[in-house]
Amino acid sequence: MSILEIDDLEVTYERRDRSRFRAVAGTSLTVGRGQIVGLVGESGCGKSSLARAAVGLVAPTGGTVRFEGRPVVPLTRRARPAELTRLQLVFQNPYSSLNPRRRVGEQVGDGIATGGAGRSARTARVAELLELVGLPSNARSRYPHEFSGGQRQRIAIARALATDPSLIVLDEPLASLDASAQAQVANLLLDLSRQLSLSLLLISHDLAIVHHVADVVSVMYLGKIVESGPTGLLWAGAQHPYTEALIGAVPHPDGSGTMPAVLPGEVPDPALPPLGCRFHPRCPHVMEVCRSREPVLEPVGEDRLAACWLRVPETGGDALVPPASAHPLK
């Protein structure tokens, strides 16, 4: 059963020159109970906009978002509906998301206070939450600047856990951390999900971390999902050239796997998306049909979806290869 259902979501922004563009251009995604879903893609593909719309920080211009069967309404100055407090968001930069003038215990306790708990109960619960994320209970009396980046992100996670959530959306939670802290926080998220039966939507451009943590991965490009499937199968055989390139760009011990060698160019301006397949200007397998018709996200195997004219129709984890009738254009 899905705990989060995003259906045909659109998020449109207006620039200073009054031009408008769709950061999220009709995207659907689901997260099951106790499931970790990774959402990956390059910077500028719309991942963060989807995250903010999923929790109500951004009002969608189209489509729907439902959490535990209820519509997610955009946040206003009024109190958030009680049923939506179990949907939480952890931001990329833990230092900017924490109040530097308030003690850690006060900030973690804010979510507990909404449940009507007394002071002594809140104090005990704060200590429990800090211990749960790997911090000493005396951390509650200190300020955010007294902690490292990884520790601050643990505080942000503890604050999200204070409302006893069933789903946490994590928007690039590891991007601002060093490699050691990234691994530690990634393992913490995996342990919390399993221990608490907690669903996670992990948004990241770091495929190595997502590969380690996620049960299912969705790949986003220029506002749309281009491939989705179980992590192991997706890594065993990508069904979209963009996914193939991202996986190939993951660094290897021998130093291979760099993005410029695998995927040239940059994500186009979302205000002027290419006609046809949005990826075709960068695709090594581009065909004439790619330039004029946009592929739809369709099943390409059990629990797998891809939007590509070169998609492999058979089930299983075969690598993406162009069919014999395809004649790539130079």
User: How large is the average pLDDT for residues 210-223?
Assistant: 96
What pLDDT is stored for residue 79 in this prediction? 75
Q: Check if the beta carbon of residue 265 is closer than 8 Å to that of residue 282.
A: yes
Q: What φ, ψ does residue 233 adopt, rounded to 5°?
A: -70, -40
Contacts for 259 with CB less than 8 Å, ≥ 6 apart: 245, 249
Q: pLDDT category, 6, cuts 50, 70, 90?
A: very high
pLDDT on residue 69: 94
- Inform me whether the pLDDT recorded for 298 exceeds 60: yes
Predicted local confidence at residue 325, as pLDDT: 38
Report the mean per-residue pLDDT for the chain: 88
Tokens matching residue 114: 């909404």
Reported pTM: 0.89
Q: What is the pLDDT of residue 327?
A: 38
- The 10s digit of each residue's pLDDT in 121-153 is 888 999 999 999 999 989 999 999 999 999 999
Kindly report which listed range (40-54, 88-102, 302-316) carries the lowest average pLDDT score: 302-316
**CA–CA dist 303, 32 (Å, integer):** 13
**3-class DSSP string for 228-259:** EEEHHHHHHCCCCHHHHHHHHCCCCCCCCCCH
% of residues, the chain, pLDDT over 90: 67
pLDDT for res 112:
85
Residue 108 CA to residue 127 CA, distance in Å, equals 10
Residues 6+ apart with CB under 8 A from 3: 31, 32, 33, 35, 67, 68, 166, 167, 199
What lies within 8 Å, CB to CB, of 260 at 6+ separation is none
Give the other-Cβ count within 10 Å of 319's Cβ: 10
* pLDDT of residue 260 exceeding 60: no
Asked whether 159 and 97 are in contact (CB, 8 A), the reply is no
Q: Report the share of the chain in percent with pLDDT over 70.
A: 89
What pLDDT shows up at residue 149? Answer: 92
Q: Return the SS3 of 326.
A: coil
Higher pLDDT, 6 or 323: 6
pLDDT (mean) for 228-255 = 87
Question: Judging by beta carbons within 10 Å of its beta carbon (0-12, 13-18, 19+), is residue 87 exposed, middle or buried?
Answer: buried
What are the pLDDT digits (tens) for 32-52?
999 999 999 998 899 999 999
